Structure 1
């Protein structure tokens, strides 16, 4: 052993430094071998043996490195989306969610309280505009109408007053000739004229009473009409809150939904404000029947943008004459123009 080697091992600080370098090399050697800076133990053994097994190992290592390189390159190339070039995929991405609802919901109630006599409809029934849906007890009102109709049609008092006026008119004519011949006193003449005027006033009062009877008949019929509730629209009964025999005050008895036409509500981003206008047409894909599409038209655009969500509302109208589109279904909207 040389003097330099002896001096090296005899210095404790140099020994500690050598051990530190060796430990550092042992820690970083796996990373350096993986990066290719140092050969792996398999490569060393293959090279030392110099046999065919070493060659096969080298080929496997090269193939592995090539595969890694190829994977590294392909991992950085953006894959082409499967939907690229498919117009239907682009349309689906541009479609917006919507909700179909009834164009109107009518709560049927009574202006006056009373006992419910009958409700001839139930939930799920289709009703026509003007159809009777609730009948309240109305015996008193019917009797009032009969009495008013009788008074309005009574002509006895009116005809009697007409005849009285005609009688006094003839008496005035005869008395006038007697007055010219000095055969009638002025006192009797004044009495005859007064009786004639009183008869005319009585006839006028009879006419007014007859007209008043007509107004009372109309009032009684209006009160009776309030006891019968009719559907204001063509629609579907969606709720029934009371039954026959119950007392109604100001509560809702029935709820009728007008489902032709229908409305579809949609929320749009503020960036599309001004691009959506009333009259624009749109294609709707229904959640319950995705293979079928219906055409709707924008009839209202909310002029206010919600600051919190950055959206605004629009409403579309679509026909539902065959009542095949259910209320409450979700849909997707694609504007056509």
Structure 2
């Protein structure tokens, strides 16, 4: 009794693998096996937003090719733009620091003057001590004003970064296959995905092989992949040989990377490889 759809799929693949082996040997009369697989994108990316909010503008549609860094979707940013303007104004306001520096200069001059007078006996020690305390207070005020100005600068940068993140950009070159959000819809923190992007400049051809066949394949090895429907052929490179054998089907997953810079090959195509026993 077959327990699950996944188990059924694995058994079908295993049966198909055995069938390919028998047919290939009958047809060619040599100890070789033709295995059938399929292609898929090098990467399938669910592009997500770091920020929540209402979608203001969708800049792409399914089927569009995009480049790294290209804007895809913009969230409403009116509130953040206003906050940034306020933060910029506050960051530029240095009046408190200027006043604190002026007070420090006066306190320092007074302290130097009293110190000279005290040396010649024309100023009391209490006056000099009070001037020294006033100087320390003035120095502390300058430090406080400087730190406050730095805090305002950091706040401006924080809001600017947050505003920038409200524009969602393509992480890699690829093709948009599906939009999950439209203008006016809300992007929530628990569902941040906005679109699906596939990387097609390279494809992965997936095959299930027997363990003894997997043992003959090494990462980096060159192998010819033939497309069934289009009768095209491409040289690929073995990029992954699973270290695990599927317990139910007894097969091993092998992935072959194909260059597809010119988009000659489609994802989802059936293809074959030929392995000598």
| TM-score between both structures, scaled by the size of structure 1 | 0.70
Structure 2 residue corresponding to 1:124, chosen from 63, 68, 71: 63
8 Å contact from structure 2 (residues 87, 156) kept in 1 = yes
Q: Within the alignment, does 1:279 sit opposite 2:220 as a pair?
A: yes
The structure that is helix-richer by fraction is 1
Q: Within the alignment, does 1:302 sit opposite 2:238 as a pair?
A: no
Count of residue pairs brought into register by the alignment: 251
Question: What corresponds to 2:109 in structure 1?
Answer: 170
1:85-132 superposed Cα distances (whole Å, 9 cap, x missing partner): x9xx46896221121100111112323332110001000000111111
Q: 1:126 to 1:280 in 2, by over 3 A?
A: same
- Looking at structure 2, the residues matched to 123 and 200 of structure 1 have their Cα atoms a distance apart, in angstroms, of 61
Q: 1:251 to 1:162 in 2, by over 3 A?
A: closer
8 Å contact from structure 2 (residues 214, 254) kept in 1 = no
- Looking at structure 1, the residues matched to 147 and 104 of structure 2 have their Cα atoms a distance apart, in angstroms, of 16
- Looking at structure 2, the residues matched to 230 and 91 of structure 1 have their Cα atoms a distance apart, in angstroms, of 53
Q: Based on CA coordinates, which of the two structures has the bigger radius of gyration?
A: 1
Which SS does the other structure have where 1:334 is aligned?
A: strand
- Looking at structure 2, the residues matched to 289 and 216 of structure 1 have their Cα atoms a distance apart, in angstroms, of 58
Superposition deviation, residue 157 in structure 1: 2.1
Q: Runs of 5+ in structure 2 lacking a partner? A: 1-23
Aligned 1:227-238 pairs, distance under 5 A: 227-238=166-177
The structure that is strand-richer by fraction is 2
1:242-270 superposed Cα distances (whole Å, 9 cap, x missing partner): 21112222153210001122111110012
8 Å contact from structure 1 (residues 282, 335) kept in 2 = no
| TM-score between both structures, scaled by the size of structure 2 | 0.84
- Looking at structure 1, the residues matched to 156 and 192 of structure 2 have their Cα atoms a distance apart, in angstroms, of 29
- Looking at structure 2, the residues matched to 235 and 270 of structure 1 have their Cα atoms a distance apart, in angstroms, of 34
Q: 1:284 to 1:273 in 2, by over 3 A?
A: closer
CA RMSD of aligned residues (A): 2.3
Structure 1 residue corresponding to 2:209, chosen from 255, 265, 268: 268
1:249-301 superposed Cα distances (whole Å, 9 cap, x missing partner): 215321000112211111001221321111111111113420x3111101111
Question: What corresponds to 1:329 in structure 2?
Answer: 269
